[in-house]
Structure 1
Amino acid sequence: MALSHNAPPKSLQEVLDEAGSPVKLLRGSNLGPYTFPVIPPEFTNWRDEVRAWKDGVALLELSYHMTELHLRGRDVVKFLSQLATNKFEPFPVKRGKQLVLAGHDGYFIADAILFRESEDFLRIVGAPFASDWVQFNAEKTDLDVTATRDDNFSIRSGTRDVFRVQVQGPHALTLMRDVTAGTLPEIKFFDIGEFKIAGQTVRALRHGMAGEPGYEIYGPWDAQQIVREALEKAGEKYGMRKVGALAYSTTAQESGWMPMPLPAIYHGEAMRPYRKWLTNYFLETIGSLGGSFESDDIVDYYVDPVEVGYGSLIDFEHDFIGRDALRQKVATPRRKKVTLVWDNNDVIDLMRSSLFEASAGGKYMQLPNPMYATFQSDAVLRNGKSAGISQWLAYSANAEAIISLALVDTEYATPGTEVTVLWGEPNTLRRTVDKHRVREIKAKVAPAPYFEKVIKTGRQ
């Protein structure tokens, strides 16, 4: 995502004007799927690394791939409340919050995790889209807010403000008690606790994935090696696995979180100032759109906060961008987020054809994460008619199947419903896509998240 030193940056709006339309721009980008920087593909093997967070304990590395935006000032919460769907009263210090951002017409822009470190200091942590939108608005507000960017290692190197790792799985709590010598404080779900590991003061957000409890630990950049070594030593007793980039890329499917829907910024006059602010330094400008779903209207690729599962995080008692449009989406939901479990036999037939039938075969499916674009949008059919879109997919070693997160029409959202996913990219304009024929793959609807969240039910 780095800029060329030989040419001045262009705005997203300029690039769109040159391409002719948002769909032509994104469908013509040769950028491949997101790759996680710094960490190796595997520490041991990705199958057992995936199983570790469900059946044992895993150590996941978050220090390098997530963008951080630091907001400081006496008006930080007031400022965010103008942008986000969330309720911010109460929002105490040492508390986390899932930040949800919508555009003027209620379509989804991005989400991220908010960390309230003090009264006047908040961190926004996640994929860059939330930080980009918040930074743009922070630069033009009259409120007492300053935004400082801490980019991920996809576009830079060096040091950061904090390191960040996650301990995850059924043995996570016991391991954490061991590594803190029994001094671990009780931390409620999405609260932030402060404690010491190997003499180093750290904080941890309490949350989970794949249905199991976990801790997202962060602290001073210079303390990371000491903390990691302590965690690895304590983890030997529990057979802890360090998670590499391949396994990490499959975490979202099991947890039911849709990581990177296409941000709804490419259309309409209301977003034009933002498109002029974004340059080809940003992923929104250079990202690619892949998959079998086809439309010339970029709006057809958007999602909204209600259908991706954030309806409960919309507080209509305060004014925010997109509020009126979201009232209608809450009243008349069109689609629902589900997991699709792809038919194993159809997947094997597809893979066989992609390897041994040359150009007549199906689109090659790379494991464990078959995504081949920044943003994925595959057509879902029911009895030959459009029934929704499938977005984020991976092979889950815990589910022993290809599973994807999809938005399907509400009438087809019942678990067990049989649908068909079209796999491939018809009429592709991208050289990164191999020659193939679109294949139909049977799938069944399952709940999202795929695994029950014991962290919220109290079974630990």
Structure 2
Amino acid sequence: MTVHQEPRVLLYPRIRKSPFFYASRRHGVQMYSVYNHTYHPRHYGDPVAEYWALLEGVTLWDVGVERQIEISGPDAFDFTNLLITRDLSKCAVGQCKYVFLTDQHGGIINDPILLRLEENRFWLSLADSDVLLWARGVASHAGMEVRIEEVDVGPVQVQGPKSFAVMRDLLGEEVADLRYYYLHDFTIDGIEVTVSRTGYTGEIGYEIYVHHASRDAERLWDLVLAAGEPHGLRVIGPCHIRRIEGGMLAHGADITVDTNPFEVGMGYDWMVDLEQEADFIGKEALRRIKAEGPARRLVGLELGGERLGSYNDGSMIDAFPVHHGGEVVGAVTSGCYSPRLEKNIALALVPAALSEIGTRFTVDVGERPGAQLPSGTEPVEAVVVPKPFIDPTKEQPKGDVAALGAGTPVASGGAGS
């Protein structure tokens, strides 16, 4: 039998479309995936060229798949605090936080960006899972006065070292005051938007949340393109090479409901506040896990062998089995070739006892666990290394955008996430 290496993805009415779907496809989408039940452009023909465009210039992404779940009403604060593992009292109005939502066993249901728009109004900008259903299920038993709905809001990302210049031309000098992980409302040619200084890149960048997206998304897209043209703006898909370099997590791959925050490591355990007075779903389970110590750890690996792909190019169909002592002990959850580091890098879940820096493994890079490797392919050597692989303290996205505008080197600063 013949395996078709690049089967088409069917475009039809059953799967949702981003409010930017028809705008972004004009730029030559070469590969889609389905994310939050919605078509998602993954790349436009050359993921490595897109990577360099992000690092050296400015890029525009259709991320309308990041559905916005709004939580409002008199009890919205207490209800949202029940869902997340961080202490919501430490999030001011106008601030954003990267958060985990966990189930009663401490498993990660989602890792959205939370935006606090008002005292009792929040958006959860979702990763890939059905949080609307989860939140409504929790609300049905919570006995709180709260409204939970998916709102008509669609985000795009403007990312890269020249992103500030584009946003300044689009919004005016006021955007220079927007700090890392904060938000502000603007109006662009009559279009209402919320802009946050956030992104999925580890680079300086912004997210533009278009209100009334079903009506205004395509017009906003064209306005961003026009503002970006003098700066060489390029439309790309989410750059997984850069997010793997930065140790950024992909829900459904690096983390799932079967992964808890203490397994993730890399400092994400501070996102679980067990000392706060308020209760949250999974608190007792996570207290036990912390006391006992996690059974697994998400580690960084450097891998030998031939160059891996870019992760979002269809080259990694399944997790790669990780071997130690003749047994499969874990899995590579995300892997790619880093053009900057000139080596293969990966995130992998392995037993905690084998997570120390310098631990050596072999990794199968075949199409699926247990499958015979393609002809001529051998398991490759791998070693545990520190992660993130690049910019571990996030100096780059926290940089001083005013210095960028002046053409001077970027210094670190801004608020934490």
Name the TM-score class by shorter chain.
Answer: 0.7 to 0.9
Q: Which residue of 2 aligns with 1:407?
A: 349
Q: Which residue of 1 aligns with 2:381?
A: 442
CA distance in 2, matches of 1:34, 1:422: 24
Q: How does 1:228-267 map to 2 (within 5 A)?
A: 228-244=221-237, 248=239, 250=241, 252-261=243-252
Shift in Å, 1:120 = 2.7
SS of the residue aligned with 1:183?
A: helix
Shift in Å, 1:243 = 0.6
CA change 1:110–1:43 in 2 (3 A) is closer
CA distance in 2, matches of 1:338, 1:382: 15
Higher-RCO chain (CA-CA 8 Å, sequence separation at least 6): 1
Q: Which residue of 2 aligns with 1:170?
A: 161
Q: Which residue of 1 aligns with 2:362?
A: 420
Deviation per CA, 1:153-204: give whole Å up to 9, x if none: xxxxxxxx12311111112222222222323251222111223434534221
**Range moving further from structure 2, 316-325 or 380-389:** 380-389
Alignment equivalent of 1:315, drawn from 257, 260, 273: 273
CA distance in 2, matches of 1:188, 1:450: 25
Q: How does 1:11-30 map to 2 (within 5 A)?
A: none
CA change 1:347–1:213 in 2 (3 A) is closer
Kept after mapping to 2: 8 A contact 1:395/1:403: yes
Shift in Å, 1:439 = 4.9
SS of the residue aligned with 2:173?
A: coil
Is 1:303 aligned to 2:259, yes or no?
yes
SS of the residue aligned with 1:184?
A: helix
Q: Which residue of 2 aligns with 1:139?
A: 140
Is 1:381 aligned to 2:323, yes or no?
yes
Amino acid at match of 2:385: A
The percentage of aligned residue pairs carrying the same residue is: 28
CA change 1:347–1:442 in 2 (3 A) is farther
Kept after mapping to 2: 8 A contact 1:368/1:395: no
Is 1:103 aligned to 2:63, yes or no?
no
Shift in Å, 1:82 = 2.2
Amino acid at match of 1:441: V
Kept after mapping to 2: 8 A contact 1:391/1:406: yes
Deviation per CA, 1:373-427: give whole Å up to 9, x if none: xxx5433233435553321334445555543322234454455543222334355
Shift in Å, 1:207 = 2.2
Q: Which residue of 2 aligns with 1:7?
A: none
Is 1:51 aligned to 2:37, yes or no?
no
Deviation per CA, 1:99-129: give whole Å up to 9, x if none: 3122223233322121222223222222224
CA distance in 2, matches of 1:258, 1:42: 19
Q: How does 1:267-346 map to 2 (within 5 A)?
A: 302-309=258-265, 310-316=268-274, 317=276, 318-331=278-291, 332-343=293-304, 345-346=305-306
Kept after mapping to 1: 8 A contact 2:33/2:40: no
CA distance in 1, matches of 2:322, 2:216: 47
Alignment equivalent of 2:198, drawn from 194, 207, 217: 207
CA distance in 2, matches of 1:89, 1:367: 37
Amino acid at match of 2:182: D
**Range moving further from structure 2, 81-90 or 129-138:** 129-138
Q: Which residue of 1 aligns with 2:113?
A: 113
Task: Return the TM-score normalized by structure 1.
Answer: 0.68
Task: Return the TM-score normalized by structure 2.
Answer: 0.74
CA change 1:339–1:57 in 2 (3 A) is farther
SS of the residue aligned with 1:195?
A: strand
Kept after mapping to 1: 8 A contact 2:361/2:383: yes
SS of the residue aligned with 2:174?
A: coil
Kept after mapping to 2: 8 A contact 1:368/1:396: no
Amino acid at match of 1:145: V
CA distance in 2, matches of 1:199, 1:135: 33
SS of the residue aligned with 1:393?
A: strand
CA distance in 2, matches of 1:40, 1:378: 24
Q: Which residue of 1 aligns with 2:70?
A: 70
CA distance in 1, matches of 2:134, 2:373: 34
Q: How does 1:174-193 map to 2 (within 5 A)?
A: 174-193=165-184
Alignment equivalent of 1:370, drawn from 315, 335, 345: 315
CA distance in 1, matches of 2:301, 2:43: 26
Amino acid at match of 2:208: I
**Range moving further from structure 2, 188-197 or 250-259:** 250-259
Q: Which residue of 2 aligns with 1:35?
A: 34
User: What is the alpha-carbon root mean square deviation over aligned residues?
Assistant: 3.5
CA change 1:384–1:50 in 2 (3 A) is same
Q: Which runs of 5+ in 1 are unaligned?
A: 1-32, 151-160, 266-301, 352-364
Q: Which runs of 5+ in 2 are unaligned?
A: 1-31, 401-410, 413-417
Deviation per CA, 1:257-304: give whole Å up to 9, x if none: 222247876xxxxxxxxxxxxxxxxxxxxxxxxxxxxxxxxxxxx221
Kept after mapping to 2: 8 A contact 1:95/1:115: yes
Q: How does 1:76-91 map to 2 (within 5 A)?
A: 76-91=76-91
CA distance in 2, matches of 1:104, 1:73: 24
Kept after mapping to 1: 8 A contact 2:85/2:271: yes
Kept after mapping to 2: 8 A contact 1:163/1:219: yes
Q: How many residues align?
A: 359
Amino acid at match of 2:91: F
CA distance in 2, matches of 1:89, 1:366: 37
SS of the residue aligned with 1:388?
A: strand
Shift in Å, 1:434 = 10
